[in-house]
Amino acid sequence: MDIHERSQPWGKLVKVDTESEVLLVNRECTVGRRKGCDLSFPASKLVSGDHCKIVQDERSGLVWLEDMSTNGTVINMSKLVKKQVHMLQNGDVIYFVYRKNELLCPPLITCINGTCLNLLSV
């Protein structure tokens, strides 16, 4: 087994609009419009091809998001700067596309180690 792959999920992302879940199994999860991304939004032109990645450090268990997008990523209503790394916590709300108070792509809630502290309806 590759050191980047596991069999048990360490966390999940919950889509706010449908409450469907994306299980986080690999140490790194890529998000973007590109088909090869672990979480792909091919229909959304405002999501970058390689928008961001979510990474878990195996030793510390810490989880972070690194923004790689053109249009930015918003976490808990704070916009990240390109290449900025943000430590994620349970209940963080991630917006891949958010412009001028207009929600263009459903946000996701971060759930680490199988629990969500804050399921918000946005």
Greatest C-alpha distance within the chain:
44
Averaged pLDDT, 63-92: 89
Predicted pLDDT at 45: 83
Percent of the chain's residues with pLDDT above 90: 29
Residue length of the chain: 122
- Does residue 118 belong to any structural domain of this protein? no
- Does residue 31 belong to any structural domain of this protein? yes
Predicted pLDDT at 119: 36
Predicted pLDDT at 111: 64
Average model confidence (pLDDT) for the chain? 79
User: The domain spanning residue 90 has which CATH number?
Assistant: 2.60.200.20
Predicted pLDDT at 118: 39
CA–CA distance from 100 to each of 13, 79, 96, 97, 104 (Å)? 24, 12, 13, 10, 10
The whole domain housing 16 covers 11-112
pLDDT at 94 over 70: yes
- Residue 72 has which token pair? 């930015």
- Does residue 103 belong to any structural domain of this protein? yes
